[in-house]
Amino acid sequence: MKQQLRGTYYFPASNRSQLAKLLVNGDSVNLYSEQQCIFATDTCQLSVASAIPGVAVEVTFADGGKFVAEDRSVRLSLGSVRAERLEKSNKLILASILLVPLLLWFGITVVMPKLAAASVDYLPDSVAQQMGEQTFYALKKTILEPSQLEKEVQLRVVQQWQQALEQLGLPKEKFQLHVFKSDYFGANALALPDGTVVITDELLRLLAEKPDAILAILLHEIGHVQRKHSIRMVAQSLSNTIAISVVFGDIEGLGEVIVGTGAALVQNAFSRNMEREADDFALQKLAELGKPATAFAEAMQSFLAIQERDNKDSDKQETSLIQYLTTHPDIKERIEKAIQYGK
């Protein structure tokens, strides 16, 4: 098998170069310049880079010398052209344009959530414990302040909560309720992965006359804990980040942003699903306690009232309450559902 290529020969370890002709004849390889053989070797003493569309053949010799062909389209039969054939195939390019978005979508919406949900079961309880304790510690240091409500009010809420837990057969030690004042959270309640439940002064004031509504909200929050939502969320955002950085090892700048936005949108949908699950949990437990499902609707209605009041004097700063609502499913939808459940 004979092949002849014109190009440039680069001498080893220096930037000296010379126009040359590369002649491959069976196993022997010779370089000619102006009819003179300037270098002779054989095919075991060189490596040919895997061909890339539109890039000239590059041959590296064992001593560090290099030959680059002049014509960008010729290929040496010594080198591999497998990858190049794929990259030049119009069919595969077209298929990739369709498949890449599909596969990414499938990966982020189906595979990753499944993986995350499955892996959460293997995490030891101590992880949730630690996560909760450390978050609680950090929150107390930053955005939670001591409650300004009267001791009796606080005590009453805690007692009511403990009573409910007892009736439901849920561990009292796990789901300890704490009352805090927080300008950041506004009227809000939250449960940490270890079961610690926090309710804010403002929410208590808002629902002062409706103890069952408070109960409904707290049950919703521990619904997240029971279903390991926050850990699943963390596992998922984590696995997405890692998977994206693995697949797109070299995607830079905007590509990353686009993929990231996609993941964030999925994350939002994911979190709305979680809210529904927590709602269901709360409604079911309310029924077990013999409380009306409308208690839940009532809590939502109070939120709605505030929302509407805020909308009226609009262009005001968004209250933290609205913040709470944006990650939660549409409030009216939830009220409907609670009323339906009641029937």
Residues of this chain that bind other proteins (CB under 8 A): 8, 10-17, 49-50, 52-56, 58, 64-66, 68, 83, 86-89, 92-93, 95-97, 99-101, 103-104, 107, 123, 127, 130-131, 134-135, 137-138, 231, 234, 237-238, 241-243, 245-252, 254-255, 258-259
Length of the chain (residues): 343
Compute the distance between CA of residue 10 and CA of residue 69 in angstroms, rounded to an integer. 11
Least separation in angstroms between CB 9 and other proteins: 9
With tokens 């069919």, the residue in question is 91
With tokens 């998922």, the residue in question is 236
Compute the distance between CA of residue 294 and CA of residue 288 in angstroms, rounded to an integer. 14
Nearer to other proteins, 6 or 16 (CB): 16
Nearer to other proteins, 16 or 172 (CB): 16
Least separation in angstroms between CB 129 and other proteins: 10
* Strand stretches in 124-268, DSSP E: 145-146, 177-181, 189-191, 197-200
Asked whether the CA dihedral 193, 195, 198, 204 is positive or negative, the reply is positive
Compute the distance between CA of residue 302 and CA of residue 214 in angstroms, rounded to an integer. 11
- What 3-state DSSP class applies to 105? helix
Least separation in angstroms between CB 287 and other proteins: 34
Least separation in angstroms between CB 51 and other proteins: 10
Compute the distance between CA of residue 294 and CA of residue 337 in angstroms, rounded to an integer. 10
Structure tokens at 227: 């279903």
Least separation in angstroms between CB 168 and other proteins: 28
